[in-house]
C-alpha cells in the first residue's frame, strides 16, 4: 500500500539524530517520501513500528521508544513499518521496501501482513524430521515475492551426524540460496548470523514451532523469552512466540521473531513461485505448444526432461500445487477486497445522504 507523501519540518535532523535513524533502518527510500512542513505546523518525526496492537503501535524513534495511535486500521500496519508521528498520532505506513504477506489462517479470505522492510528472511528449520523440501519451497516463494533475501537456518546441527547433508539439500533448491547449520544453544555458533542483523539491517525469522526461533532470538538480543521442548515422536514443537516484535540485536541490527506457522498459504506470490521454480518455467517456455499442460501433449519439454532423468517428477507436482494454490488464494482475496470496497462505498453514500437530509 502506497502512503501519501507526508510532510515534516523535522527533516533537518542534526547529524546525531540522522545516525540514530540509520541504525533503526532509515534510508533515502523513506526520506524521499517526506516534504518540508510549513512554519507553524505541529512537529513530526519518523518512527519505526516495533509492535502492532489493536488500537496502538509501539514504536522506536531517534528519541527513544514511543506509543502511538494509528490513523488507519491496525491490520494495515506491520512490524518493521515506518510511519510519521505527529504528536501521538501515527500516519499511514510509508511505502515499504519489502512486504512479507500470506493468506490469513483459517477461513479468512484476506491477506495477513507478517513483517515489513525486512532485508533478509531467515527460514528456520531443523536437522531432523522437521526438514521438509516442499515446505521450504513454499517459504522461498513467499520470500521471493516479498523482495527479501532468503537465508535457510538449520538448527539442531549438534544433534545429527552430518548437518552438511541438510545444507546441500537446502541450497540445491536455488543457486542464489544460502543455508547455514548452527547449534542454536551455542552463543558463538549463533553469532554466525550477525552479518544478516548488523549495521541497521533487519532479519526476520519464520518457521514451524519448536525449530529454535526463540532460542536464536535469546542469543542475538538481550530479550530472554521462554522456550519449549519439541515432541520426540515427530520433532514438532509447541508455540512459544505469540506475537511479532522488532528487537535490537547485539550486532547493531534488528530481529523480528514471528509465531510458528501451522499453515502458510501463499497469496499474490506468482513472481515468487516463478522464481523458486525458474528451472521449470524456463523449460516450459520451450514446449511445442504455448498452452501445454505437460501431461500428454507432444513436444513437451518438461515431460522429455523427466523421461531423461534431468527433472524430478515430484518437483513438478510441487510446482503445480503451489501455482494452483496461489492462483486460487489471490483470486479469493481479490474478491474479498472488492466486496469490502463495495460495502465501504455503500456506507459512504449513506453517510452523504444523511448529511444532505440534515441540512434541508
On whether 158 is known to bind a ligand per the annotation, the reply is yes
On whether 211 is known to bind a ligand per the annotation, the reply is yes
Positive or negative: CA dihedral 61, 63, 64, 66 = negative
On whether 348 is known to bind a ligand per the annotation, the reply is no
Q: Contact at 8 Å (CB) between 67 and 59?
A: yes
Residues 169-227 have pLDDT tens digits of 999 998 789 999 999 999 999 999 999 999 999 999 999 888 999 999 999 998 877 65
On whether 51 is known to bind a ligand per the annotation, the reply is no
Residues 122-149 have pLDDT tens digits of 999 999 988 999 999 989 988 998 999 9
On whether 8 is known to bind a ligand per the annotation, the reply is no
Q: What is the pTM of this model?
A: 0.78
Q: Contact at 8 Å (CB) between 186 and 212?
A: no
On whether 143 is known to bind a ligand per the annotation, the reply is no
On whether 210 is known to bind a ligand per the annotation, the reply is yes
Q: C-alpha grid cell for residue 109?
A: 479470505
**Cβ contacts of 83 within 8 Å, gap of 6 or more:** 46, 47, 49, 57, 59, 68, 70, 77, 90, 91, 92, 93, 94
On whether 156 is known to bind a ligand per the annotation, the reply is yes
Domains of the chain as residue ranges with CATH: 15-90 (2.40.50), 99-263 (3.40.50.300), 270-335 (1.10.40.50)
On whether 4 is known to bind a ligand per the annotation, the reply is no
- pLDDT lower than 70: segments of the chain: 1-18, 36-43, 104-109, 226-242, 260-263, 265, 267, 269, 332-360
On whether 294 is known to bind a ligand per the annotation, the reply is yes
Amino acid at each position: 500500500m502506497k502512503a501519501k507523501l507526508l510532510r515534516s519540518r523535522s527533516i533537518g535532523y542534526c547529524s546525531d539524530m540522522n545516525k540514530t535513524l540509520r541504525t533503526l533502518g532509515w534510508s533515502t527510500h523513506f526520506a524521499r517520501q517526506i516534504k518540508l512542513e510549513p512554519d507553524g505546523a505541529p512537529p513530526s518525526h519518523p518512527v519505526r513500528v516495533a509492535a502492532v496492537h489493536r488500537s496502538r503501535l509501539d514504536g522506536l524513534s531517534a528519541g527513544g521508544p514511543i506509543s502511538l495511535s494509528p490513523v488507519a486500521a491496525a491490520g494495515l500496519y506491520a512490524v518493521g513499518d515506518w510511519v510519521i508521528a505527529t504528536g501521538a498520532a501515527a500516519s499511514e505506513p510509508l511505502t515499504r521496501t519489502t512486504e512479507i504477506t500470506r493468506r490469513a489462517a483459517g477461513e479468512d479470505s484476506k491477506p495477513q501482513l507478517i513483517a515489513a522492510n525486512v532485508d533478509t528472511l531467515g527460514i528456520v528449520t531443523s536437522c531432523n524430521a522437521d526438514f521438509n523440501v516442499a515446505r521450504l519451497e513454499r517459504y522461498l516463494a513467499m520470500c521471493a515475492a516479498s523482495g527479501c533475501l532468503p537465508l535457510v537456518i538449520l538448527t539442531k546441527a549438534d544433534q545429527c551426524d552430518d548437518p552438511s547433508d541438510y545444507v546441500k539439500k537446502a541450497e540445491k533448491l536455488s543457486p542464489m540460496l544460502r543455508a547455514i547449520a548452527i547449534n542454536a544453544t551455542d552463543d558463538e555458533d549463533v553469532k554466525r548470523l550477525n552479518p544478516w542483523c548488523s549495521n541497521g539491517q533487519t532479519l526476520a525469522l519464520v518457521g514451524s514451532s519448536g525449530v529454535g526461533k526463540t532460542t536464536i532470538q535469546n542469543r542475538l538480543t538481550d530479550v530472554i523469552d521462554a522456550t519449549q521442548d519439541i515432541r520426540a515422536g515427530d520433532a514438532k514443537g509447541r508455540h512459544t512466540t505469540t506475537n511479532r516484535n522488532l528487537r535490537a540485536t547485539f550486532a547493531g541490527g534488528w530481529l523480528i521473531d514471528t509465531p510458528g506457522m501451522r499453515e502458510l498459504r501463499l497469496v499474490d506470490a506468482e513472481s515468487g513461485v516463478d522464481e523458486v521454480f525458474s528451472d521449470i518455467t524456463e523449460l516450459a517456455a520451450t514446449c511445442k505448444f504455448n498452452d501445454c499442460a505437460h501431461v500428454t501433449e507432444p513436444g513437451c519439454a518438461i515431460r522429455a526432461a523427466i523421461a531423461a532423468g534431468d527433472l524430478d517428477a515430484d518437483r513438478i507436482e510441487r510446482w503445480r500445487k503451489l501455482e494452483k494454490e496461489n492462483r486460487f488464494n489471490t483470486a479469493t482475496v481479490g474478491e474479498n477486497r472488492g466486496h469490502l470496497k463495495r460495502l465501504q462505498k455503500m456506507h459512504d453514500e449513506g453517510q452523504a445522504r444523511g448529511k444532505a437530509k440534515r441540512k434541508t
